[in-house]
Amino acid sequence: MITFRGVHKYFGTFHVLKDIHLQIESGEVVVVVGPSGSGKSTMLRCINRLETITEGTLTVNGYDLTAKSTDINLVRRDIGMVFQHFNLYPHMKVIDNITLAPIHALGVPAKEAKETAMLYLEKVGIPEKADRYPSELSGGQQQRVAIARGLALKPKIMLFDEPTSALDPEMIGEVLDVMKTLAREGMTMVVVTHEMGFAKEVADRVAFMDEGRIVEQAEPRQFFEQPAAERAQLFLSRLLRH
Amino acid sequence: MIDWTILTDNWELYLEGIRNTVLASLLALVGSFVLGIVIAVFRIAPIRILNVIGAAYVEFFRNIPLLLVVYLFFLGLPVLGLVFNGFISGTLGLMIYTSSYIAEAIRAGIQAVPIGQKEAARASGLTYIQAMRHVVLPQALKIVIPPICNQFLNLVKNSSILGVVAGMDLMYFGDIVNADTYDTVSSYAFVSLFYLVLTIPLSLASRSLERRLARSG
Residue A20 near residue A7 (C-beta atoms within 8 A): yes
Reply yes or no on whether the pLDDT at A13 is more than 60.
Answer: yes
What ipTM was estimated for this complex?
0.93
pTM beyond 0.90, yes or no? no
Strands A79-82 and A157-161: parallel
Nearest chain A residue (CA) to B127? A73
Within 8 A of A135 by CB-CB distance, chain B residues are 217
> What would be the CATH architecture of the domain defined by A2-240?
3-Layer(aba) Sandwich (3.40)
Shortest Cα distance, chain B CAs vs residue A236, angstroms: 31
Nearest chain B residue (CA) to A106? B125
Residue A86 near residue A149 (C-beta atoms within 8 A): no
Collect all residues with Cβ–Cβ distance below 8 Å to A41 and sequence separation of at least 6. Answer: A161, A162, A192
In this complex, do A76 and B217 lie within 8 Å of one another by their Cβ atoms? no
Closest partner CB to B126 (pick from A101, A133, A150) = A101
As a whole number, mean pLDDT of residues A127-156 equals 96
Within 8 A of B109 by CB-CB distance, chain A residues are none
pLDDT value, residue A240: 66
Write the CA distances from A182 to A30, A40, A150, A158, B192, integer angstroms.
13, 21, 12, 9, 68
Reply yes or no on whether the pLDDT at A219 is more than 60.
Answer: yes
Residue B177 near residue B10 (C-beta atoms within 8 A): yes
As a whole number, mean pLDDT of residues A173-200 equals 94
Give the containing element (helix H, strand E) for B103: helix B86-112
pLDDT value, residue A87: 97
Within 8 A of A83 by CB-CB distance, chain B residues are 116, 119-120
Shortest Cα distance, chain A CAs vs residue B137, angstroms: 11
pLDDT value, residue A167: 93
Shortest Cα distance, chain A CAs vs residue B31, angstroms: 26
**What tens-digit pLDDT sequence spans chain B (217 residues)?**
889 999 999 999 999 999 999 999 999 999 999 999 999 989 998 899 999 999 999 999 999 999 999 999 999 998 998 899 999 999 999 999 999 999 999 999 999 999 999 999 999 999 999 999 999 989 988 889 889 999 999 999 999 999 999 999 999 999 999 999 999 999 999 999 999 999 999 999 988 988 887 776 5
How do the domains of chain A map onto residue ranges?
2-240
Shortest Cα distance, chain A CAs vs residue B112, angstroms: 14
Within 8 A of B139 by CB-CB distance, chain A residues are 89-91
Compute the distance between CA of residue A14 and CA of residue A51 in angstroms, rounded to an integer.
14
In this complex, do A106 and B125 lie within 8 Å of one another by their Cβ atoms? yes
What's the pLDDT band for A241 if we cut at 50, 70, 90?
low
Collect all residues with Cβ–Cβ distance below 8 Å to A61 and sequence separation of at least 6. Answer: A1, A2, A75, A78, A156, A157
In this complex, do A91 and B139 lie within 8 Å of one another by their Cβ atoms? yes
How many beta-carbon pairs below 8 A join chains A and B? 65
As a whole number, mean pLDDT of residues A165-171 equals 92
A90 touches chain B (CB under 8 A): yes
pLDDT value, residue A10: 95
CB neighbourhood size of B198 (10 A): 18
pLDDT value, residue B195: 96
Strand arrangement of the beta sheet that strand A2-11 belongs to = A14-24, A2-11, A55-60, A63-64
Q: What domains, with CATH codes, occur in chain B?
A: 5-215 (1.10.3720.10)
In this complex, do A150 and B124 lie within 8 Å of one another by their Cβ atoms? yes
pLDDT value, residue B161: 95
Write the CA distances from B174 to A207, B3, B15, B24, B186, integer angstroms.
78, 14, 11, 16, 10
In this complex, do A83 and B120 lie within 8 Å of one another by their Cβ atoms? yes
Closest partner CB to A135 (pick from B126, B130, B217) = B217
A154 touches chain B (CB under 8 A): no
| Residue A145 identity | V
pLDDT value, residue B212: 84
Shortest Cα distance, chain A CAs vs residue B115, angstroms: 9
pLDDT value, residue B96: 97
Q: Which of A50, A92, A98, A104 to mutate to test the interface with B (most CBs of B within 10 A)?
A: A104
Write the CA distances from B38 to B26, B56, B183, integer angstroms.
18, 14, 46
Give the containing element (helix H, strand E) for B42: helix B4-44
Within 8 A of B127 by CB-CB distance, chain A residues are 73, 105
Residue A156 near residue A187 (C-beta atoms within 8 A): no
B141 touches chain A (CB under 8 A): no
